Structure 1
Amino acid sequence: MATPHFDAAIVGAGAAGLLCAALAGQRGRRVLLIDHAPKVAEKIRISGGGRCNFTNRDIDPRAPERHYVGHNPRFARSALSRYTPQDFIRLVQRHGIGFHEKHKGQLFCDEGSERIITMLLDECADGRVERWQPCAVDSVAFSGPNVQPASASSHQDHGYLLQTTRGAVTASRLVIATGGLSIPKIGASDFGYRLARQFGLPLVAQRPGLVPLTFQGEDWAPWAPLAGVALPVRVQVAGPGGSAKGRMAFDEDLLFTHRGLSGPAILQISSYWHGGEPLIIHLAPGVDLRAGLVAAKRQSRKHIANILAQWLPTRLADAWASRRADWQRPVNEAGDKALGQLAEQLARWQITPSGSEGYKKAEVTLGGVDTRALSQQSMEATGQSGLHFIGEVVDVTGWLGGYNFQWAWASAAACALAL
């Protein structure tokens, strides 16, 4: 029996792989979509609490890369500018999927993430995409020096030979959309990184991103009982000498856990944090704490903890006031110096994480295929004809709030047009 041949084989049936397959198929390419997991798009299914935060309408059209992290975030600009949130919104609307904006431009499905998965599968069906799943790729070999145009009829001796658990297959072009290492319980794999190394592409070191941070020992003992307490904060990573000047800051909610800190503020800053660096957290952003405490001293006999409870959750106010004896008294009996130090510490709480919750809790993987080895127009490897990388496997990581899905859609579209 002859080995089946496709214009493009796409490995990975997540967000990027599904859209790339659909768009390429609808443009007349014969496409095979392969995934080792029994279910497609598990990351879409669990995202946004099951409602899929599928994009963010606030992406800056003049500089979309500012919402992204990597060695060269500007690499993402071309794809993000050509396939925008509005493009994906139109696709969602065409399928009659209701959605709503929850926070800061974040768009969620009204009825659940399964609607997005069904939409993408329907789009693949419209493009006559063939899907092998579950199917693992055991090996990949490049079988020729050049990749001919996908419409040519004499190119089957060139391209890629894949040995899979469903047999061998050849393809003129190979697209890797296998994602990263985050959330291994839903099938995360290092396949994309291994394949990049096989073909000599450089990699940026991988680490968990959008992940809760952890603390150990006595540093965390006073705060562990606050698990479940949440509040809005401003958070930054401290630079040399403890300064946060010029550093990225996020104004989001923080959540205390038994092991450390979580919530959107911490997930956001985790992508900018490296081991050993302290965080600087303003526990009452927008409040002039010094002025507030001085005013309370003139007007009130309440204990300091009760005054702090105007701006902080009560449990946190109590825990903070208990740290020093001169904060455990009525505010009108407190010294100006003690109140000033209290205000300063609340506005610049400096604490150093010991690590993170790792890939099991990380929403994304930072690092990946080095963008210097890829074309920003087509996502094709510059030194390896016909080999493309899209989505999370590339060293482009978005902020929390739909930005990573938008990168998946945009990189998929850029690749599909090139196929």
Structure 2
Amino acid sequence: MKLVRTTVLCIALLMVYSLPVLSQTSPAEAFKNVIIHAADGETIESGTIVWRNGVITSLGKDVTIPFDAYVRDGGDSLHVYPGFIDGLAHWGSPDIANDSKQPDEPGNPSYARAGIQPDRSAADQLKFDDSAFDDAPKHGFTTAAIGLKGRMLAGQVDLFSINGEKTKEHMLENGIGVLAQFEEAGGTAYPSTTMGIMTTFRQLFNDAEALRQQQQYYASTSGNYSAPEKDKVLEALYPVMDQEQPFYFAVDSKENIERLFWLQDELGFEVVIVSGKEAYKKADALKERNIPVLASIDLPEKPDWKKAEEKEDESEAKEELEEVTEEMRVFRDRQLTAYKADIRNIRKLVDAGVKVGYASHGIKLSDIQKNIITLNEEGELSEGDILKMLTQNTAEILGYGNKMGDIAAGNMASFTVFSKPFTEKETKVLFSVSDGKLSEFESESSNE
């Protein structure tokens, strides 16, 4: 009898200790009979992808689907792509505070009035009920680095898995970098010029280094020495000064990119360029400095006269062309050359060996699909080039290339199911999986 009681007790204890383990394992989910597109361009026809607990466990043609998996059949017509990653978005950010009021000391305004706020955390101030967090997955985005709208030093850049209002609960990392730009304080406050901003950057780094030396001396001495005052703004620059955090520097023109180089040479920080619409003009220097670009696809509009040339009614286009003077023709040639150069910005950067990812940096979600098609048709970028830019390259620039950006076993389960290849005009996002969480958008177009 004693043996029976002991055996029963052991079984009961085994069951009790097993419960937490079982409760931590979620059922698997899977898509089968889908076309899987890897970031490197490899395609798996009639493929299967399985994920559990937010991680891809297996994928391929001959995959054994776990017995507990909830399976969706793609019917060999649906396309699965790695989730797009926005390297710098402003979704949910409050607008910049009204700065029309003149400060008491315009030459010495507060940090906030001057736009110097590197200590601000995006996670603390974002409005997570912003519609962009619901709309982004419908356009293929599953992950985003988000910064606040601001001026010279707008604040920390935080990384999130995107899942509607629940995005707040899915922050992957706080403070992957600091958002910076050549943006004046506004109104009459200093710095009000680009030269003033550059001077302010130098002064901030000098002040931060002086404060750190005081703090280190205070910590090392036992003498009668007053503790230095805390300064959260200057202390927020320590990781940048130590090259533990980069500046995510929003800059477009060739001249401002050169100014950024001067600052980097003098102050020694790491940098990621955001937007970079004229970055192609400094492509060789960017490659030499190993500076990546989170490129904007906020593309210029094609000149109206060029659109007229491409009209289906050739007689109408010919009539318009006959009215063009020689002076107008010279102007149009220059205008078209500039347009093509801007459209091919990313192509030129890639050809120069620059690592190019993607950042919306204010572009509307509704414009993304249209501009992707333009890059494919006129920007000399293949579907594979664009996919790699939106996924693996951006993940690597953000420091997450070994966890996301591609559909691979062991990576985060973040991918999107399209009705057609993502560069086609009529494609629709049917499902979005962000960090393992699935959302379905059966009848909603990705370019709405």
Q: Name the TM-score class by shorter chain.
A: under 0.3
Q: So what's the TM-score if we normalise by structure 1?
A: 0.23
Max Rg structure: 2
